[in-house]
Structure 1
């Protein structure tokens, strides 16, 4: 079971990395303008018309800030960090540390169609 879970987690990290690498390079900034409203722009944009995302719902300012905080550069750093954690976790498989680390890692992707609920609290 643990090998399946580690394989599942590595596949999700690969997907996150691929998506981040295809996206407009970061860092991104949340901005507001009379022309575009609340939007997220790359740091090298010349105007808010060069947005990568535009938010229009009730929490538009907060949505834009959230999107900007999770730009591709940050996602790539997070993928690298999670891979390092998985590398460590695999060295302590079968120990208390393994179980303590794997459960919270698995919960991140519990809404993925390939997720196996048996992995939680196993």
Structure 2
């Protein structure tokens, strides 16, 4: 059985690989996409999506690879902070509380085959 922390790290790794693969060779990984419906273009004006509805174009551009990479970094920082916050003393992590706090994050990937239904979180 995979721990909830391992599950989340694996999903973040997948998201990073997919985001990096979406960048054209030589494009900085901070380059943001833009929407000009019906098209979406990369930072160097390369056409990414040829035709979509205006609201979809905004959504696609807003969730570009640069943002996906930034989100992965931010979530890893949050997980590290949560881990530190759940130490009872210098050597003892309260894993139950730590894992409970990770449940809402794991739920993002609840459709993934490795998601454990025991991690389900009721809002």
Shorter-chain TM-score: which interval? 0.7 to 0.9
Q: Which segments of 5 or more consecutive residues in structure 1 lack a partner in the other structure? A: 33-37
1:35 corresponding residue in structure 2: none
Partners of 1:112 and 1:53 in 2: how far apart? 26
**1:44 Cα shift?**
1.8
Larger displacement relative to structure 2 (101-110 or 73-82): 101-110
Q: CA deviation at 1:95?
A: 5.8
The structural deviation recorded for 1:104 is 1.0
The structure richer in strand per residue is: 1
Q: List structure 1 runs of 4+ shifted beyond 4 angstroms.
A: 95-98
Number of residue pairs aligned between Structure 1 and Structure 2? 108
TM-score by length of 1: 0.76
* Cα distance in 1, alignment partners of residues 108 and 97 from structure 2: 20
2:29 is the counterpart of 1:29 = no
Q: How do 1:9-28 residues align onto structure 2 when only pairs under 5 Å count?
A: 9-24=8-23, 25=27, 26-28=31-33
User: What is the root-mean-square deviation in Å for CA atoms of aligned residues?
Assistant: 2.2
Q: After superposing the two structures, state which structure 1 stretch, 16-25 or 70-79, moved more.
A: 16-25
Q: TM-score, normalised by structure 2?
A: 0.76
State the alpha-carbon separation in 1 of the partners of residues 60 and 51 from structure 2. Answer: 10
Alignment gaps of 5+ in structure 2: 87-93
1:1-122 → structure 2 map (5 Å cutoff): 4-24=3-23, 25=27, 26-32=31-37, 38-45=38-45, 50-56=46-52, 60-91=53-84, 92=86, 93-94=94-95, 96=97, 98-99=99-100, 101-121=101-121
Instruction: Report the 3-state secondary structure (helix = DSSP H, G, I; strand = E; otherwise coil) of the residue aligned with 2:81.
Output: helix
